[in-house]
């Protein structure tokens, strides 16, 4: 039966997208066929659609680094028809067709069965951004950053990772400081659980190699000068989890926070994280994320709208999470 998909192609004018009708014979390789309910839009999807970064390594390609849906057919003993599943990262939208389609065929090892309490819409709303936020929280916990140790900073606070990170941290009892360049989102961030909001401009310029201690930990989605300043202001023994590069890929700081304060910089990779870590993250999301707060940060669009929204996310104008209803 034909299904709809967004397909990206490379032309002399750059990367273009179009809505196409495909057949099962067009599906990619894999042991499991998924009837996709929802995808979502992340910063990486914006990079892929605009070709601002060479995310897509094979053309034509169905973009979308996330998908959530129900197993239609399976050659794997691990999955059966009717199982609700989610897939984040791996090769989606890079070397393997992604989630901007009504159907996908994928390797069984890439899939996670949804934990009780999370349906496919909430799974897409969480998406790579929310799953990355949970990996970041786990890194803080692993480093010993507990709520009694002090404040936790979240940069890029109004974005997808930042929004979910604030909701998770607040639910777990942390006092959260939100850094944003969008002061008009103060009410939104406070509703998610932020106790204090600071202007990102206070962190985005070159600063001192080490500065007054302010927070016990941080989740940084920005990189560059922002990350260097976050490290410089982290308390003794603190942990900073970095998972993004919105400001840049450079790190123009010094070793002083590491050798004078014992600060840990934890790198967060959501694309190739092993399955056991993914299951841990999704299990914790089911228990620690307030789905009411998640719903408050979600906007839903149809499949045909997805490329335009993906382009917009790079400008920082998208708040929270955008779910793609592939059947709309």
What local confidence, expressed as pLDDT, does residue 314 receive? 87
**Does the global pTM surpass 0.85?**
yes
What local confidence, expressed as pLDDT, does residue 90 receive? 95
Nearest to 252 by CA among 287, 299, 204: 204
Summarised one tens digit per residue, pLDDT across range 283-324 is 999 999 999 999 999 999 999 999 999 989 888 778 899 999
CB 145 within 8 A of CB 217: yes
The burial of 271, by beta-carbon neighbours within 10 Å (0-12 exposed, 13-18 middle, 19 or more buried), is given as middle
Listed as ranges, residues in the chain with pLDDT below 70 are: none
Asked, colleague to colleague, whether 3-113+297-325 and 129-267 share their fold, the answer is no
What local confidence, expressed as pLDDT, does residue 229 receive? 98
Q: Angle at the Cα of 265 (from 263 to 266), degrees rounded to 5?
A: 135
Cα–Cα distance between 30 and 95 in angstroms, integer?
13
Q: Angle at the Cα of 121 (from 55 to 98), degrees rounded to 5?
A: 25
With a CB cutoff of 8 Å and minimum separation 6, the contacts of 82 are: 70, 71
In the three-class reduction of DSSP (H, G, I as helix; E, B as strand; rest coil), residue 94 is classed as coil
CATH topology of domain 129-267: Rossmann fold (3.40.50)
Residues above pLDDT 90, as percent of the chain: 91
CB 73 within 8 A of CB 32: yes
What average pLDDT does the structure give for the chain?
96
Domain range summary for the chain, segments of one domain joined by +: 3-113+297-325, 129-267
What local confidence, expressed as pLDDT, does residue 51 receive? 86
At the second CATH level, the architecture of 3-113+297-325 is Alpha-Beta Complex (3.90)
């Amino acid at each position: 039966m034909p299904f709809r998909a967004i397909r990206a192609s490379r032309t002399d004018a750059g990367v273009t997208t179009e809505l196409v009708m495909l057949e099962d014979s067009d599906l990619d390789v894999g042991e499991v066929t998924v009837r996709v309910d929802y995808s979502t839009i992340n910063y990486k999807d914006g990079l892929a659609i605009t070709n601002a970064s060479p995310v897509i390594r094979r053309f034509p390609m169905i973009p979308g680094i996330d998908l959530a849906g129900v197993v239609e057919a399976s050659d794997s003993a691990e999955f059966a028809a009717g199982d609700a599943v989610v897939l984040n990262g791996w090769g989606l939208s890079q070397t393997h067709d992604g989630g901007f389609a009504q159907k996908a065929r994928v390797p069984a090892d890439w899939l996670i069965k949804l934990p009780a309490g999370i349906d496919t819409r909430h799974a897409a709303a969480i998406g790579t951004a929310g799953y990355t936020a949970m990996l970041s929280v786990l890194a803080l916990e692993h480093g010993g950053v507990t709520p009694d140790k002090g404040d936790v900073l979240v940069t890029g606070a109004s974005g997808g990772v930042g929004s979910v990170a604030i909701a998770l941290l607040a639910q777990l009892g942390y006092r959260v400081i939100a850094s944003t360049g969008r002061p008009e989102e103060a009410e939104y961030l406070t509703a998610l659980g932020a106790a204090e909001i600071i202007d990102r401009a206070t962190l985005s310029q070159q600063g001192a190699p080490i500065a007054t201690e302010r927070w016990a930990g941080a989740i940084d989605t920005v990189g560059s000068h922002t990350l260097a300043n976050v490290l410089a202001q982290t308390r003794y023994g603190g942990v900073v989890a970095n998972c993004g590069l919105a400001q840049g890929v450079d790190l123009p700081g010094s070793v002083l926070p590491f050798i004078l304060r014992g600060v840990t910089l934890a790198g967060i990779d959501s694309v190739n994280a092993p399955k056991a870590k993914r299951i841990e993250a999704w299990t914790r999301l089911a228990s620690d994320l307030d789905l009411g707060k998640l719903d408050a940060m979600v906007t839903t669009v149809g499949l045909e709208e997805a490329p335009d929204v993906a382009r917009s996310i790079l400008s920082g104008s998208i708040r929270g999470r955008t779910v793609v209803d592939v059947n709309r």
